[in-house]
Amino acid sequence: MESKPIDFKNLSIISYPDPLLRQPARPLIEVNSDIHQLAERMIDLMVSSGGIGLAAPQVGVSLRLIVISLSGKRHDAEAYINPELDNFHGASEMEEGCLSVPGVRAKVRRHAGCTVKALDLDGSEFILDAVDMTATVFQHETDHLNGVLFIDRLNTVSKMACRRGLKQLEITYQNR
């Protein structure tokens, strides 16, 4: 766990270009009550912000934990601990946004499907096959665990189209 206790009440989503978003997250060693609280708080933040996925690094916690709710509703949210993706197949291009890169959206090319291996909040391992939007969300959130943002996956034209929004986020970050 973190060297200092997590202040669950004051967790909030951090924004680009915060350097914490670029740090690879550490694997979770133990699933305990702190991890349950963290997952619950992340779900609250994700849902209240209108998101469908959120990774622990996006709330400033460097642990390999993501939460996903494709419907954007709390009752559909699931937590995934130490997710690993493999068996990638196909190609897909979807418009993506990110709660840590507000106001910026662009088409991102990713794999159309993959296999996800993770632990649930009971510490039990499971495997699922993800396709289409589900695969995209898993790839997007797992990228966060590796210090990668969706804007890193844009082609040159898309990067140019997003330049103004990213510059504004950089100015806002510097002036906070």
Catalytic machinery residues: 141
Q: What is the 3-state secondary structure (H, E, C) of 21-78?
A: HHCCCECCCCCCHHHHHHHHHHHHHHHHCCCCEEEHHHHCCCECEEEECCCCCHHHCE
User: How far is Cα 89 from Cα 134, in angstroms, rounded to an integer?
Assistant: 13
CA 147 to chain centre: 10
